């Protein structure tokens, strides 16, 4: 028995071995063939297994697959219908009525284009009919739609349904009273159909009253504003409707439930708008609850959820560093190189794909930052435009430290972008951070925070308030020189570091000094941007011994070397020379250049150093105008004149007589009956008067003429006048010269001589005018020139040369000359000589000998010209004409120019020189 079993076993083993041997002898292909034959028909399933990846196109439906029919149903009941179909399938399974359909589904939903249909998959439409027959809410007998094969896949396209999380923001669609209002989800019911939300109620407390009155409320139009529930008001209006618990602040009122002022209500999700909520900042702030520490506590997570769902406002710009956090490319980090619509082109900067460029859809992307990045908030957050440095990143929430206020702010990475600029909201309009601004007449404040449309201001009393730009009167400019004294009496200025003596012993740098308040800024606190305000009497400078640290280790090398300053007081420009006597502006005709009276003409009635009282021509009014705002005009011609240059002369002449020039001239002109404008020169007038005085009245005819204005020989007079007046007046010492002048008068005679009196006259008249004024470039000028010429020539020209010295001669000499001149003058031709002689003497008196001096005066003394003229005349008998011709303006000009200042004395001198010579 045992043996037989052993044999059998043995045989079996051998059998197996032989079989294996045979199999091995087959070649592989045959083996494969047999295998296929043996197992080939036993395919478990025609479908591909789960584990196998199959190209999508092979999964697409074909004609062999069952068709899909769309069947109308009642809107909103799609899902119920599908459930009913399920139920029917269960019921009839295994019976002869078993349903022939293979699937049923719906794509309902508020936004869906396929709402109002259920879709049933079957091989024959009859199966669909049977399956749906007699079912509620579905209408198979109306037209059924056969879905085309190519549309089938899109029918099943998955759109991710929004899931509501507690804390998310939604908008209410219904009830209509709250339509559009923002609400916050508290929780969602188990079946996912309803959500419990809280929102700001719209209560009309009077409704209860009205109902109590038995009147029916007209439904409709009126929509109360959003306001938090107010228990007191509700009680007042109808205490019966209200029940609740004051401890938890939960109330029922008119069948509604209120918690902490918010209304809490269960609303069907279909009556809520979940997508694209984009809560506005103002709306969200309604839900902001005050934290225990008084800080606002915005539920960022909730906001995140709401905002994330609306991708619309996310914008990527090329250059942004972006991370893909969803989808096939999850984890890829790249730099955006191009953005087109929803497609962002990335250049991958990390990992295996580095360097490649890939396109990714914009959803599933987020911007990526690193700690230490400098970022700026863009987008809708209330921190918009803040700039700061990233300190922490959690998923897509980025915490950064703002540059402005050194506070930490958390925002979403989508609202950030890399910042190039610094500061950001440093200013709003003309106001910027740390400016001192006037809030009202008695209040100033320092801007410690700049928001989008408002400022936070720390006023002088230490109160922080929020103001709009429109509430700010103006900025108080920083005065670099502002000084205050601290409690120890030491001087403190801007930028000094001081410490509070009492209180918190805060220390800071002075940024503003306003009356007795100082605004300090310290780094040690970031409350109010580190700014605090205190009284000057409450601070002590931190510098040692209470004195200011003299920071300047040396002199300021950009400014004047102090050691070179001769007069330490007179830093800056030299004050204008003091002018004695009557103010020369008085009596001038002026126009006002600036201010309310701009353009008006007037006369100066009185003057101080800086201002004039101007009597206006237009209305009899005297106004006070700064001198700098006046333009001085010639009384008659209306030309602009420079009173200062004239005045300068006056001063030069010799102090007291300063005024002399202009005015006396006038007086003179009046007297003489000459043309006022020209005559002005008249200083001559005075001179004339004096001259005569000088000259023994009778001694020389010259005087007389000079004196007599009336004399027929107008020419004589004029010149006499002119020359005399000018020359003479200027120098006290020169009176003698005056004598000369008198001689001059002689020259007048000359005029007569010339027979060209008129010209002489005119010349005289004009010349003087010009001279004295320096303005006139007219004939007169020539006349003067003539004088100067004479002079010049006299001095230089040999012929004259002789004379030249003469003028230089002593007064006495001049005097004599004058006399002689006078006579000469009479003689007609030489009148000039007479004139000149005196003049020079007068002028030069001191330095007679020195030529240089002489010339100057010559140049100056336009008046002399008259004399000069005379001289000229003397030289050339033709006198008159030339005189008239005086034309030499050019020459004149030359002379004149130099002299102008000198105008005064000069003329004479020269004149004197030449004439004298002539005489000789």
Q: Tokens in use for 161?
A: 């349904």
Does 509 help bind another protein (rule: CB under 8 A)? no
Which residue(s) pair with 498 in the sheet? 508, 541
Whole-angstrom distance, CA of residue 79 vs CA of residue 82: 5
- Nearer to another protein (CB atom), residue 51 or residue 558: 558
Does 523 help bind another protein (rule: CB under 8 A)? yes
- Nearer to another protein (CB atom), residue 94 or residue 554: 554
User: Got the DSSP string for 229-253?
Assistant: --HHHHHHHHGGGEEEETTTTEEEE
Q: Which residue has the tokens 């591909």?
A: 48
Q: What share of the chain is helix, strand, coil (3-state, %, to 5)?
A: 40, 20, 40
The least distance separating another protein from the CB of residue 434, rounded to whole angstroms, comes to 14
Query: Strand 343-348 relative to strand 333-340: parallel, antiparallel, unpaired?
Result: antiparallel
Select the span of 149-157, 387-395, 616-624, 723-731 touching another protein (CB under 8 A): 387-395
Select the span of 188-196, 402-410, 649-657, 909-917 touching another protein (CB under 8 A): 402-410
Pick one of 310, 338, 371, 847: the residue that binds another protein (CB under 8 A): 371
Pick one of 182, 322, 390, 741: the residue that binds another protein (CB under 8 A): 390
Does 378 help bind another protein (rule: CB under 8 A)? no
Does 221 help bind another protein (rule: CB under 8 A)? no
Secondary structure of residue 340 in the 3-state scheme: strand
Distance of CA 365 to the CA centre of its chain: 38
The least distance separating another protein from the CB of residue 559, rounded to whole angstroms, comes to 6
Whole-angstrom distance, CA of residue 727 vs CA of residue 910: 11
Does 22 help bind another protein (rule: CB under 8 A)? no
Pick one of 121, 403, 415, 435: the residue that binds another protein (CB under 8 A): 403
Q: Exposed (0-12), middle (13-18) or buried (19+): which is 524, by Cβ within 10 Å?
A: exposed
For residue 719, what are the contacts with CB-CB under 8 A and spacing of at least 6?
744, 745, 747, 748, 750, 751, 760, 761, 763, 764, 767, 783, 831, 866, 869, 870
Does 542 help bind another protein (rule: CB under 8 A)? no
Does 406 help bind another protein (rule: CB under 8 A)? yes
Which residue(s) pair with 491 in the sheet? 485
H-state helical runs in 239-375:
281-287, 300-309
**Which positions from 411 to 430 touch another protein by CB under 8 A, shown as an x/- string?**
-----------xx-------
User: Got the DSSP string for 362-420?
Assistant: STTEEE---TT-EEEE-TTSTTTT-EEEEEEEETTEEEEEETTT--EEEEEGGGEEE--
Distance in angstroms between the alpha carbons of the first and the last residue of the chain: 190
- Nearer to another protein (CB atom), residue 423 or residue 885: 423
Select the span of 143-151, 556-564, 581-589, 727-735 touching another protein (CB under 8 A): 556-564
- Nearer to another protein (CB atom), residue 194 or residue 403: 403
Does 568 help bind another protein (rule: CB under 8 A)? no
Closest CA to 859 of 913, 822, 919: 913
- Nearer to another protein (CB atom), residue 454 or residue 525: 525
The least distance separating another protein from the CB of residue 391, rounded to whole angstroms, comes to 4
**8 Å CB contact between 843 and 734:** yes
Pick one of 45, 52, 564, 574: the residue that binds another protein (CB under 8 A): 564
Q: Which residue has the tokens 């003489």?
A: 672
Whole-angstrom distance, CA of residue 331 vs CA of residue 334: 10
- Nearer to another protein (CB atom), residue 225 or residue 372: 372
Length of the chain measured in residues: 920
The least distance separating another protein from the CB of residue 512, rounded to whole angstroms, comes to 19
Select the span of 190-198, 339-347, 368-376, 898-906 touching another protein (CB under 8 A): 368-376
Select the span of 127-135, 316-324, 369-377, 378-386 touching another protein (CB under 8 A): 369-377
Does 301 help bind another protein (rule: CB under 8 A)? no
Does 49 help bind another protein (rule: CB under 8 A)? no
Whole-angstrom distance, CA of residue 905 vs CA of residue 916: 17
Pick one of 110, 129, 186, 401: the residue that binds another protein (CB under 8 A): 401
Does 557 help bind another protein (rule: CB under 8 A)? yes
**8 Å CB contact between 626 and 596:** no
Does 377 help bind another protein (rule: CB under 8 A)? no
- Nearer to another protein (CB atom), residue 399 or residue 485: 399
Does 373 help bind another protein (rule: CB under 8 A)? yes
User: Got the DSSP string for 890-914?
Assistant: HHHHHHHHTTTTGGGHHHHHHHHHH
Select the span of 306-314, 560-568, 625-633, 806-814 touching another protein (CB under 8 A): 560-568
Does 432 help bind another protein (rule: CB under 8 A)? no
Pick one of 62, 504, 561, 610: the residue that binds another protein (CB under 8 A): 561
Does 478 help bind another protein (rule: CB under 8 A)? no
Secondary structure of residue 484 in the 3-state scheme: strand
Whole-angstrom distance, CA of residue 860 vs CA of residue 683: 14
Select the span of 132-140, 339-347, 404-412, 886-894 touching another protein (CB under 8 A): 404-412
Does 601 help bind another protein (rule: CB under 8 A)? no
- Nearer to another protein (CB atom), residue 410 or residue 645: 410
Pick one of 558, 573, 610, 628: the residue that binds another protein (CB under 8 A): 558
Does 622 help bind another protein (rule: CB under 8 A)? no
Residue 410 vs residues 304, 315, 396, 471: alpha-carbon distances, Å: 11, 19, 10, 31
Q: How many residues bind another protein (CB under 8 A)?
A: 29
Whole-angstrom distance, CA of residue 9 vs CA of residue 422: 94
Does 313 help bind another protein (rule: CB under 8 A)? no
The least distance separating another protein from the CB of residue 788, rounded to whole angstroms, comes to 38
Whole-angstrom distance, CA of residue 410 vs CA of residue 393: 9
Task: Report helix angle 905-919 to 811-827, nearest 10.
Answer: 70
Does 408 help bind another protein (rule: CB under 8 A)? yes
Sign, CA dihedral 424-429-434-440, equals: negative
The least distance separating another protein from the CB of residue 408, rounded to whole angstroms, comes to 5
The least distance separating another protein from the CB of residue 517, rounded to whole angstroms, comes to 24
Select the span of 100-108, 365-373, 431-439, 481-489 touching another protein (CB under 8 A): 365-373
Select the span of 51-59, 77-85, 216-224, 524-532 touching another protein (CB under 8 A): 524-532
Phi, psi of 83, rounded to the nearest 5 degrees: -60, -40
Sign, CA dihedral 651-654-659-662, equals: negative
Radius of gyration of the chain, Cα coordinates, nearest whole angstrom: 56
Does 549 help bind another protein (rule: CB under 8 A)? no
The least distance separating another protein from the CB of residue 402, rounded to whole angstroms, comes to 11
Which residue(s) pair with 440 in the sheet? 443
Whole-angstrom distance, CA of residue 684 vs CA of residue 679: 8
The least distance separating another protein from the CB of residue 562, rounded to whole angstroms, comes to 9
Which residues in the 193-212 window bind another protein by CB under 8 A?
none
Does 574 help bind another protein (rule: CB under 8 A)? no
Pick one of 6, 392, 548, 605: the residue that binds another protein (CB under 8 A): 392
- Nearer to another protein (CB atom), residue 248 or residue 563: 563
The least distance separating another protein from the CB of residue 503, rounded to whole angstroms, comes to 15
The least distance separating another protein from the CB of residue 373, rounded to whole angstroms, comes to 7
Residue 561 vs residues 228, 445, 553, 564, 573: alpha-carbon distances, Å: 73, 40, 14, 5, 15
Residues that bind another protein (CB under 8 A): 371-374, 389-392, 399, 401, 403, 406-408, 422-423, 523-526, 553-554, 556-561, 564
């Amino acid at each position: 028995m045992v043996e037989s079993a052993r044999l059998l076993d043995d045989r079996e083993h051998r059998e197996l071995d032989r079989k294996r041997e045979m199999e091995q002898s087959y070649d592989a292909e045959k083996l494969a063939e047999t295998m296929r034959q043996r197992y080939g028909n036993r395919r478990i399933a025609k479908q591909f297994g789960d584990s196998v990846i199959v190209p999508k196109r092979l999964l697409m439906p074909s004609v062999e697959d069952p068709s899909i029919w769309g069947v109308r149903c009642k809107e909103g009941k799609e899902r119920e219908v599908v459930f009913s179909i399920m139920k029917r399938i269960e019921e009839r399974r295994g019976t002869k009525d078993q349903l022939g359909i293979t699937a049923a589904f719906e794509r309902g939903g508020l936004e869906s284009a396929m709402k109002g249909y259920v879709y049933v998959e079957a091989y024959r439409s009859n199966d669909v009919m049977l399956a749906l027959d007699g079912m509620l809410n579905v209408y198979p007998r109306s037209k059924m739609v056969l879905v085309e094969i190519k549309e089938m896949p899109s029918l099943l396209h998955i759109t991710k349904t929004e899931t509501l999380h507690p804390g998310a923001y939604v908008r209410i669609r219904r009830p209509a009273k709250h339509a559009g209002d923002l609400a916050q989800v508290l929780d969602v019911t188990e079946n996912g159909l309803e959500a419990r939300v809280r929102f700001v109620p719209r209560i009309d407390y009077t409704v209860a009253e009205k109902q109590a009155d038995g009147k029916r409320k007209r439904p409709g139009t009126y929509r109360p504003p959003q306001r938090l529930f107010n228990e007191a008001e509700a009680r007042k209006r109808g205490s019966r409707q209200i029940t609740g618990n004051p401890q938890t602040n939960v109330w029922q009122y008119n069948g509604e439930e209120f918690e902490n002022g918010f209304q809490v209500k269960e609303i069907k999700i279909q009556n809520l708008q979940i997508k694209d909520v984009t809560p506005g900042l103002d709306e969200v702030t309604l839900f902001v609850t005050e934290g225990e520490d008084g800080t606002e506590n915005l539920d960022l997570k909730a906001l995140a959820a709401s905002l994330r769902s609306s991708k619309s406002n996310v914008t990527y710009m090329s250059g942004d560093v972006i991370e893909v956090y969803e989808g096939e490319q999850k984890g890829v980090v790249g730099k955006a190189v191009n953005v087109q619509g929803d497609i962002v082109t990335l250049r991958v900067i990390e990992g295996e794909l580095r360097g490649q460029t890939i396109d990714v859809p914009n959803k599933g992307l987020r911007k990526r930052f690193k700690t230490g990045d400098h970022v700026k908030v863009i987008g809708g957050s209330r921190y918009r435009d803040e700039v700061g440095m990233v300190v922490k990143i959690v998923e897509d929430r980025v915490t950064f430290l703002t540059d402005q206020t050194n506070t930490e702010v958390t925002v979403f990475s989508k609202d950030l972008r890399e910042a190039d600029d610094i500061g950001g909201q440093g200013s709003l309009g003309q106001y910027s951070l740390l400016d001192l601004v006037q809030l009202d007449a008695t209040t100033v404040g320092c801007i410690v925070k700049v928001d989008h449309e408002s400022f936070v201001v720390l006023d002088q009393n230490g109160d922080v308030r929020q103001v709009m730009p429109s509430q700010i009167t103006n900025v108080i400019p920083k005065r670099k020189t502002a000084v205050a004294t601290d409690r120890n009496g030491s001087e403190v200025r801007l930028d000094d570091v001081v410490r509070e003596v009492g209180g918190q012993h805060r220390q800071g740098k002075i940024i503003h000094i306003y009356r007795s308040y100082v605004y300090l800024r310290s780094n040690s606190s970031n409350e109010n941007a580190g700014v605090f305000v205190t009284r000057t009497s409450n601070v002590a400078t931190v510098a040692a011994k209470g004195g200011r640290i003299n920071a300047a280790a040396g002199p300021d090398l950009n400014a004047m070397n102090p050691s070179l300053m001769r007069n330490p007081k007179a830093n800056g420009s030299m004050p204008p020379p003091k002018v004695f006597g009557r103010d020369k502006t008085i009596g001038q005709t002026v126009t006002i250049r600036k201010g309310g009276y701009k353009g008006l003409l007037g006369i100066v009635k009185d003057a101080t150093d800086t201002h004039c009282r101007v009597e206006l021509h237009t209305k009899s009014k005297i106004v006070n105008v700064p001198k700098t705002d006046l333009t001085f005009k010639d009384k008659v011609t209306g030309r602009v004149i420079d009173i200062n240059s004239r005045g300068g002369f006056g001063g030069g002449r010799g102090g007291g007589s300063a005024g002399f020039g202009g005015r006396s001239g006038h007086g003179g002109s009046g007297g003489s009956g000459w043309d006022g404008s020209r005559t002005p020169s008249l200083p001559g007038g005075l001179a004339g008067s004096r001259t005569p005085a000088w000259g023994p009245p009778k001694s020389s005819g010259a005087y007389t003429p000079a004196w007599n204005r009336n004399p027929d020989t107008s020419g004589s007079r004029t010149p006499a006048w002119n020359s005399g007046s000018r020359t003479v007046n200027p120098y006290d010492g020169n009176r003698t010269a005056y004598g000369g002048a008198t001689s001059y008068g002689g020259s007048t005679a000359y005029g007569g001589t010339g027979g060209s009196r008129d010209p002489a006259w005119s010349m005289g008249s004009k010349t003087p005018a010009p001279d004295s004024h320096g303005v006139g470039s007219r004939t007169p000028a020539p006349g003067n020139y003539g004088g100067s010429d004479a002079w010049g020539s006299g001095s230089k020209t040999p012929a004259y040369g002789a004379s030249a010295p003469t003028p230089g001669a002593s007064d006495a000499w001049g005097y004599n000359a004058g006399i002689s001149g006078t006579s000469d003058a009479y003689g007609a031709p030489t009148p000039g000589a007479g004139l000149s002689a005196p003049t020079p003497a007068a002028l030069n008196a001191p330095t007679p000998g020195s030529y240089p001096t002489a010339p100057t005066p010559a140049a100056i003394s336009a008046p002399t010209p008259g004399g000069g003229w005379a001289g000229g005349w003397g030289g050339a008998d033709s006198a008159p004409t030339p005189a008239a011709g005086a034309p030499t303006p050019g020459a004149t000009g030359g002379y004149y120019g130099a002299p102008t200042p000198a105008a005064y004395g000069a003329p004479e001198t020269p004149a004197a020189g030449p004439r004298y010579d002539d005489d000789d």
